[in-house]
Amino acid sequence: MDIAGAGKFNAGDIVFAEHCGYIPWPGRLIEKKRHTGLIQFVCTNDRKRISYRKMWPYNFRQKKIFVTKEALEYEDFREAILMTERLMGRNDDDSVHYVWQVMHPGAEHTAKEPSTSSVPPATGRTQRQIELAYVQKVRKQSSSLRVETQFVDEINTLRRCLTINYKNYEAAHAAFQQLLKMPVSQLLLVRNFEAVNSIRQLCRFTPTTEPQTGNGDAASVVRSQANKLMSRFVSCFKLPYTKPDFWSEFIWLSDSYMRYTVDFFPNWRC
């Protein structure tokens, strides 16, 4: 792989950038410093300062290296590549075809015709009424909040013991064990967006440097536990979604809950 310096990039460029512990991910270079650039990652919208040594142009050559069948098995990465292809000017059909070909080498991809039966019937309700009805419905799960304090505590434990410079896998494993035994609900999750997002990010956790320290297996276990926990979270939300994917649906529901809770219960701390 080419190791590029600051001079090879311009603010606004679409690049692959590798944040410590994660696979190279597409993002936009939004600010340049002498040794690092501020990257806003596609799909997740996370912003991180990345060394230019861990940054590559988003072009055909680098896509051959980073956009692999294995990487595309992660739903978030797949969505990020589709979004990036659109940012690069490719239409939706070409973007989907490109991802399909990487995931299914040699297989023929036939675009599906849009189905009118999948369009939900008009209900006559405004968006505000739909969102408010959801908030009123989900608040009926208030009994599930008895575990909220423990839930937040265990998530905070994971944040403390899995950082760039410090990793306590034994403590992380214990926290995951507690979280996996804990009952969860839509209300618990939409009230704690950042907690769910933390687990989502751990699903992309990769032990790139850990084999040298003998902790490669422990790092892989962390990712496996995060994926298992995220699957439990997803199972709380029944299909069909009203948005293109689970994460878009969750962002919308969490935002609706927090917004209407603040609007109608301004003195109630979420």
User: Whole-angstrom Cα distance, residue 93 to residue 73?
Assistant: 19
**Quick check: is 108 in a domain?**
no
List own/partner pairs for 157-165 with CB under 8 A and 24 or more apart: 158/198, 158/199, 158/202, 159/198, 162/202, 162/205, 162/222, 164/20, 164/21
**Amino acid (1-letter code) at residue 189:** L
Q: pLDDT above 90 covers what percent of the chain?
A: 36
53 and 151 inside one domain? no
Please measure the distance between the N-terminal and C-terminal CA atoms of the chain and give it in whole angstroms. 47
pTM of the shown model: 0.53
- With contact defined as beta carbons under 8 Å apart, do 40 and 14 qualify? no
13 and 69 inside one domain? yes
The tens digit of pLDDT for each residue in 233-259 reads: 999 998 888 888 888 899 989 888 887
Range of the domain at 227: 127-264
Q: pLDDT above 70 covers what percent of the chain?
A: 82
133 and 56 inside one domain? no
User: Whole-angstrom Cα distance, residue 39 to residue 165?
Assistant: 20
**Quick check: is 23 in a domain?**
yes
86 and 138 inside one domain? no
How many domains does the structure of the chain reveal?
2
**Quick check: is 117 in a domain?**
no
The tens digit of pLDDT for each residue in 183-230 reads: 999 999 999 988 998 898 888 775 544 444 445 578 788 888 999 999
Query: What is the side-by-side strand order in the sheet with 25-32?
Result: 47-51, 36-41, 25-32, 14-17, 55-57
